[in-house]
Amino acid sequence: MDIQAINLADKLSTFDEYWSPRIIAQMNDYHFKLAKIRGEFIWHSHPETDEVFLVLKGDMRIEFRGFHTELSEGEMCVVPRGIEHKPVAQDVCQIMLIEPTGTLNTGDAGGERTKTDENWI
Give, rounded to a whole angstrom, the gap between the first and last alpha carbons of the chain: 20
Closest approach, Cβ 108 to a second copy, in A, equals 17
Residue 4 within binding range of a second copy, rule CB under 8 A: yes
User: Judged by CB under 8 A, does residue 62 bind a second copy?
Assistant: yes
Q: Please tell me whether residue 101 binds a second copy under the rule CB under 8 A.
A: no
DSSP state of 11: H
CA 66 to CA 20: how far, in whole Å?
A: 27
3-state secondary structure of 58: coil
Window of 15-23, 25-33, 36-44, 113-121 that interacts with a second copy by CB under 8 A: 25-33
Which one of residues 23, 38, 43, 50 is an interface residue with a second copy (CB under 8 A)? 50
Q: Which is nearer to a second copy, 9 or 119 (CB)?
A: 9
CA atoms within 13 A on the CB side of 80: 2
Asked if 88 and 61 count as a contact pair (C-beta separation under 8 A), the reply is: yes
Say how many residues touch a second copy, by CB under 8 A.
40
Report the C-alpha gap between 19 and 4 in whole angstroms: 26
Q: Residue 25, interface with a second copy (CB under 8 A)?
A: yes
* Binding residues for a second copy (CB under 8 A): 1-9, 25-28, 30, 32, 49-52, 56, 62, 64, 66-67, 69-72, 74-81, 83, 98-100
